[in-house]
Structure 1
Amino acid sequence: MQYTFDFSPVLAAWPLLLNGAIQTLKISAISMTLGMSLGIIIVSMRMGTSNAIRTFAIGYIELIRNTPLLVQVFFVYFGLPSIGVQMSAEEAAILALTLNCAAYAAEIVRGGVESIRKGQVEAGRALGLHTLDVYRFVVFRPAIRAVYPALCSQFVLLMLNSSLVASVSAEELTYVGQIIDSQTFRSFEVYFVLGAIYLALAQILSIALQAIGRSYFSYPVK
């Protein structure tokens, strides 16, 4: 059986692919930002003095990290409406990805926080810094700087895993690819192009995250 490759029907749908790529980056960027913020909160809860709060944080991390992302997406989109929580496919995708990102980010950041010596915290307090400033500048910023490469890898993985939200009809790149495939019946060409686009997006995101890291975490040279 011979197969004739024809990429023209797929390439002709480039406006749809471009929009899908933009939507993928949009969903990923929102989820990364919210997930990182929530992750820092979870770290603070896990390292707190309250046993109940610490247990809740540990339980949340273990629950998210030991269940498939696809199941989490289905739970948010199909399960929550059963208790009256209605949301669009895009909103469900962002919520599921945010909750997933938060658990992994929390564990990565915790590793960085635990590398901070107690003497640094005591020095910050001795200088008269407010408790919030101590955690912001003396604890979390150096901690995140130390684990930033791992966070970047996690964010790129999140962007790639966002393809799973196509299963609930969130209009991102993979969903657009499925539509094109159903119209052209060019499965090989469609998913070959999708793979190339995801590869390009991963490289672009990596470069952008590295630039952010150099801008935010670099120390001024005197």
Structure 2
Amino acid sequence: MDYQVNFSGLVPYFSTFLSGIGMTIQITVISTILGLLVGTYCAAGRISQQRWLSSICAVYIEMTRNTPFIVQLFFIFFGLPALGLKLSAWEAGIIALVFNLGAYSAEIIRAGILAAPKGQWEAGRTLGLTYRQIFIHIILPPAYQRVYPALVSQCIIVMLGSSVVSQISLEELTFAANFVQSRTFLSFESYIVTAVIYLFLAILMRQAFTLLSKVMFKAPAL
């Protein structure tokens, strides 16, 4: 085996990789924020005393957690147009990522909520607070703190999983790597560089969440 590594051949495609990184960061930030919002509402719905709401949330969560992400993505991008709903690759990618993160984060957040001592609910009622006020101001903040490391890990998984949206031609980092290797035939170099970039983004993302935790909870580093 006499393969000559040639990373210099990737230099002309620096802007392509940079554009892919930018798109990956963009869809990760948007899908993380929206996905956690969806997860929070679904977690609240799962513990709701309204059976119909709890059932709907349960079906959504189980359906999402027990089907492959790429199937969900293809259904949104290729399947929905059959019903008259045509989405761009960017829109479909965001919706699929939010849909996926929402289901997984819902169960994580629900675990944090269920771990809340009953005394917190009783204390809120004693103060004359409504159920909504107790949930938002007393139950939810410590619930987030309890499950924060798990949520961070799930968000990083979503960032790494965003590589799948390259299958619908959304021009993120993996799409850029595929494009570069198809032009240069430097597959080894292209994907090594891409793997290192994903590793760097994951570390950077964890550090960002660590700083956020210090602001939100005054907690030690993850």
TM-score interval (norm. to shorter)? over 0.9
Equivalent position of 1:118 in the other structure: 118
In the alignment, the residues of structure 2 paired with residue 212 and residue 19 of structure 1 have an alpha-carbon distance, to the nearest angstrom, of: 26
Equivalent position of 2:171 in the other structure: 171
In the alignment, the residues of structure 1 paired with residue 194 and residue 64 of structure 2 have an alpha-carbon distance, to the nearest angstrom, of: 28
Residues 1:81 and 2:81 are matched in the alignment:
yes
In the alignment, the residues of structure 1 paired with residue 81 and residue 175 of structure 2 have an alpha-carbon distance, to the nearest angstrom, of: 22
Deviation string 1:114-173 (CA, Å, 9 cap, x unpaired) is 000121011122223343321112111110110000000000010000000000001100
Equivalent position of 1:19 in the other structure: 19
In the alignment, the residues of structure 2 paired with residue 214 and residue 191 of structure 1 have an alpha-carbon distance, to the nearest angstrom, of: 35
Q: Which runs of 4+ in 1 moved over 4 A?
A: none
Deviation string 1:44-98 (CA, Å, 9 cap, x unpaired) is 1111112222111111111000001111111110011110111110110000000
Equivalent position of 1:193 in the other structure: 193
In the alignment, the residues of structure 2 paired with residue 148 and residue 68 of structure 1 have an alpha-carbon distance, to the nearest angstrom, of: 25
Equivalent position of 2:97 in the other structure: 97
In the alignment, the residues of structure 1 paired with residue 215 and residue 133 of structure 2 have an alpha-carbon distance, to the nearest angstrom, of: 20
In the alignment, the residues of structure 1 paired with residue 11 and residue 127 of structure 2 have an alpha-carbon distance, to the nearest angstrom, of: 61
Equivalent position of 2:38 in the other structure: 38
Residues 1:180 and 2:171 are matched in the alignment:
no
Structure 2 SS opposite 1:12: helix
Residues 1:2 and 2:14 are matched in the alignment:
no
In the alignment, the residues of structure 1 paired with residue 62 and residue 186 of structure 2 have an alpha-carbon distance, to the nearest angstrom, of: 41
Structure 1 SS opposite 2:2: coil
Report the number of matched residues: 219
What residue ranges of structure 1 are gaps of 5+ in the alignment? Answer: none
In the alignment, the residues of structure 2 paired with residue 29 and residue 186 of structure 1 have an alpha-carbon distance, to the nearest angstrom, of: 30
Equivalent position of 2:150 in the other structure: 150
Structure 1 range deviating more: 125-134 or 206-215: 125-134
TM-score, scaled relative to structure 2:
0.95
In the alignment, the residues of structure 2 paired with residue 156 and residue 68 of structure 1 have an alpha-carbon distance, to the nearest angstrom, of: 18
In the alignment, the residues of structure 2 paired with residue 133 and residue 212 of structure 1 have an alpha-carbon distance, to the nearest angstrom, of: 24
* Distance change in 2, residues 1:53/1:131 (3 Å): closer
Residues 1:134 and 2:134 are matched in the alignment:
yes
Equivalent position of 1:211 in the other structure: 211
In the alignment, the residues of structure 2 paired with residue 206 and residue 12 of structure 1 have an alpha-carbon distance, to the nearest angstrom, of: 30
The Cα shift of 1:16 comes to 1.4
Structure 1 range deviating more: 170-179 or 123-132: 123-132
In the alignment, the residues of structure 2 paired with residue 137 and residue 49 of structure 1 have an alpha-carbon distance, to the nearest angstrom, of: 19
What residue ranges of structure 2 are gaps of 5+ in the alignment? Answer: none
CA RMSD of aligned residues (A): 1.2
| Identity value in percent | 41
